[in-house]
Amino acid sequence: MTALYANGHRRFSALPWRSATRAAALLAVVAMATVYASPQSPKPDASSSREAFLQVYKVFTSPRCQNCHPAGDSPLQGDDSHVHLQNVRRGKDGHGVYGMRCDTCHQTTNLPGEHMPPGNSKWSLPFPDHKMVFVGRSPAELCRQLKDPKQTGDRSLQKLLEHVSSDDLVGWAWDPGAGRTPPPLSRAETVAQMKIWVDGGGACPQ
């Protein structure tokens, strides 16, 4: 933009885009200051962490989870967690033994109808060197077990959280097919409670 003096000379004033640029820069500075000035959410304390784990425990010891985390080497079935009827065994890799591999019956998706084999491409039990037993564990025992990398396949608490939140085989528990009861908390609720537990230091119930 220009202004005209009495002698006919022109004077250039600030261009509109420069003003807009200054305004945008100022807004960015204000926004950054606001973010850094905002109080951060406090980390959960040990009490909150323990309470959150008790909620997670309800999920992990529900049939949909504990049936694949048995104390022995045979998976469990049904809402009553009975031993797998076909005498299926864990095997060296968690996928069964020769002639009775998991994927013989378990396909990539649930077969339609009640009492039909559930499905996922990774259907298996944990490896025999870290069985991650859920059945029969008290809250304190399961909590300590999950914090022991030797029993979790070298997974940290953060890795366990990622496992629960994103692994599709774990996610099957919330889409188990007809005739199977899902866990008592939704997956989102389970992840939220597990995050509180982890962020609070993984405190264990007494």
Backbone dihedral angles phi then psi of residue 68, each to the nearest 5 degrees: -105, 10
- Give the tens place of pLDDT for each residue, 170-187: 999 999 999 999 999 999
83 and 140 share one domain:
yes
Same domain, 76 and 18: no
The secondary structure of residue 104, as a DSSP letter, is G
Which residue, chain included where needed, has tokens 């005209």? 4
| Residues 145, 73 share a domain | yes
Q: What are phi and psi of 100, to 5 degrees?
A: -145, 50
| Predicted confidence (pLDDT) at residue 33 exceeds the cutoff of 70 | no
- Structural domain containing residue 31: 2-37
Per-residue pLDDT at 73 exceeds 60? yes
Residues 164-174 pLDDT 10s: 999 999 999 99
The whole-model pTM stands at 0.79
Q: How many CB atoms within 10 Å of residue 137?
A: 20
- Rounded average pLDDT over 34-58: 80
Is 203:194 a contact under the CB 8 Å cutoff? no
Amino acid at 48: S
Hunting for tokens 């009640």 — which residue is that? 114
- Look at residue 206 and tell me if it is in a domain: no
Residue 99 is given by DSSP the state T
- With respect to residue 204, please indicate whether it lies within any of the assigned structural domains: no
Q: Is residue 205 part of a domain?
A: no
Per the listing, tokens 């045979």 go with 74
pLDDT tens, 77-110?
Answer: 999 999 999 999 999 999 999 999 999 999 999 9
Do both 15 and 54 map to the same domain? no
Q: Which own/partner pairs from 137-143 qualify as long-range (CB within 8 Å, at least 24 positions apart)?
A: 137/61, 139/53, 139/54, 139/57, 139/204, 139/205, 140/204, 140/205, 140/206, 142/57, 142/60, 142/61, 143/53, 143/57, 143/202, 143/204, 143/205
Name the nearest CA neighbour of 58 among 179, 173, 147: 173
**Counted domains in the chain:** 2
Share of the chain above pLDDT 90, in %: 77
146 contacts 80 by C-beta, under 8 angstroms: no
Tokens 């999920």 -> residue: 59
